[in-house]
Chain A
Amino acid sequence: MKLLTHNFLTSNIIKGVKNGYPLSILPGKVEMKEVDFNPEFITRMLPKIEWSALQKAAKECGFEEGLPDTVGEEQLGDTDLLKRVHKALLEIEVVEGKLVCPESGREFPINNGIPNMLLNEDEV
């Protein structure tokens, strides 16, 4: 699971959970996988990203290479910054671990890089 995917996941599917966002990451096995850098893709994706959720997730995965607190439009020309964002969004792979609902503490397993968000019948 890339942090780009994580950025779009919520646990509000659980009965009684309001926002369920962002999910905390309890990393088991994290790998860095090289992905071709495409500045245009990062620039187009940035407005869709919840920045604080990405920052928190990167930290939880042990990646703290200077993601600033905010990214404004004036920074989109900063290739160095876009490369760091690229790395955080696309190169960090959570292979094994858990996602934790911030409201209920319910854990969702990540196995072989795939988050499993299925709930038991009594949880929905």
Chain B
Amino acid sequence: MSLTSLSHFPTPKISHLSTDDFKFIYEPAEDSFLLLDALEKDCVRIEKLRPCICLEVGCGSGICITFLATILKSWPSLYLCTDINHKATEIAQQTGRENGINIQPVTTDLVESLDVRLKGQVDILLFNPPYVVTPESEVGSKGIEAAWAGGERGRQVIDRFLTKVSDLLSEEGLFYMVVIKENIPEEIEQMMKKEGFDMETVLTRRSGPELLSILRFQRTQA
């Protein structure tokens, strides 16, 4: 973990989580903390947006959506989060509570059951996808493997989600996503350009074998 000493928002407490919990859900790691750092770096941009609805897809422990709510503490918003792993949504709810934040978890696959009514409504969208390159056959579990197994180039779940982003985001909305180099961010940039989005890399950090980046997407401003 490497939150900078300059950080002025507290990292969410996760001491309520036990090693037993981490048999079922993804333990916050470098990728999670890099997303936190990127949100903190972007805090002025995020606050300026005055978001009404925030959504984290694949929330795991809930640390990222809880942190986003911490940044926006003086600005109330709806904090929705989803995970295909029911244990994860339970723990995310607990993480929110432990930090005095009210988050609204739904157990579902990506944004299923929410996408129709959230059309064009999401102001801040977070996604720390299963980005690890694995055999295709490992993708599709509803357990802890769903937290990392990304199939070929780690893109199976990422690509499935990217097609939904344009429908979900509000006009000014921001979409943050974690990727590794193997996911080929340049190709993702081209895909999203066709959907009308500009991509920027907010932060990049090496963690062991992984070269992690946080990408931010926003509609191309006319």
- Least Cβ distance of A56 to chain B in Å? 15
| Stretch of A10-18, A24-32, A64-72, A77-85 with 4 or more beta carbons under 8 angstroms from chain B | A10-18
Cβ proximity bits A41-55 to B, threshold 8 Å, 1 near / 0 not: 100110010100000
Q: Are B106 and A9 in contact (CB under 8 A)?
A: yes
Q: Mark B67-107, 1 if CB is under 8 A from A, else 0.
A: 00000000011101000101001100100000000101111
Q: Given the complex of chains A and B, what is the CA–CA distance between A116 and B93 in angstroms?
A: 14
**Residue of B84, B89, B142 with most partner-chain A CB within 10 A:** B89
A10 adjacent to B106 (CB under 8 Å): no
How long is the Cα–Cα vector from A34 to B28 in the complex, in angstroms? 31
Contact of A5 (CB < 8 Å), options: B52, B77, B106, B121: B106
Residue B16 lies at the interface, judged by CB distance under 8 Å to chain A: no
**A20: min CB distance to chain B, Å:** 8
CB <8 Å contact, A116 and B121? no
A112 to B116, CA, bound (A): 25
| CB pair A112 B117 closer than 8 Å | no
CA distance A115 to B83 in the complex (A): 11
A63: interface (CB < 8 Å): no
A45-B52, A112-B93, A114-B86 known; A1+B104 contact, CB < 8 A = yes
Q: Are B102 and A4 in contact (CB under 8 A)?
A: no
Task: Please pick, from B53, B76, B105, the residue contacting A38 in the complex, using a CB distance under 8 A.
Answer: B76
Are the C-beta atoms of B52 and A8 separated by less than 8 Å? no
The 8 Å CB contact of A114, one of B52, B102, B106, B113, is B106
- The minimal Cβ–Cβ distance linking A32 to chain B, given in whole angstroms, is 14
Report the interface size for chain A: residues with CB under 8 A from the other chain: 28
Contact status B113-A10, CB under 8 Å: yes
CB distance from B176 to the nearest CB of A (A): 21
Q: Is the CB of A8 within 8 A of B114?
A: yes
Q: Contact at B116–A114, with CB atoms within 8 Å?
A: no
Which of chain B's residues have a CB closer than 8 A to the CB of A11? 113
B93 to chain A: which residues have CB within 8 Å? Answer: 112-114
Contact: B86 with A116, CB < 8 Å?
A: yes
Judging by beta carbons under 8 Å apart, are B102 and A35 in contact? yes
- Taking the complex as formed, is B112 at the interface, i.e. its CB lies under 8 A from any CB of chain A? yes
Could you tell me the distance in whole angstroms from the C-beta of A33 to the nearest C-beta in chain B?
Answer: 9
Q: Which 5 A-B pairs have the closest CB atoms?
A: A117-B108, A117-B113, A116-B107, A8-B117, A41-B76
Offer 28 A-B interface pairs, CB within 8 angstroms, sorted by A: A4-B78, A4-B104, A7-B117, A8-B118, A10-B113, A10-B114, A10-B116, A12-B113, A21-B117, A36-B76, A38-B76, A40-B76, A41-B52, A44-B52, A45-B52, A45-B78, A48-B121, A50-B117, A112-B90, A113-B93, A114-B86, A114-B105, A114-B107, A115-B107, A116-B107, A117-B106, A117-B107, A118-B107
> Residues on B close to A: CB < 8 A?
52-53, 76-78, 80, 84, 86, 89-90, 93, 102, 104-109, 112-114, 116-118, 121, 142
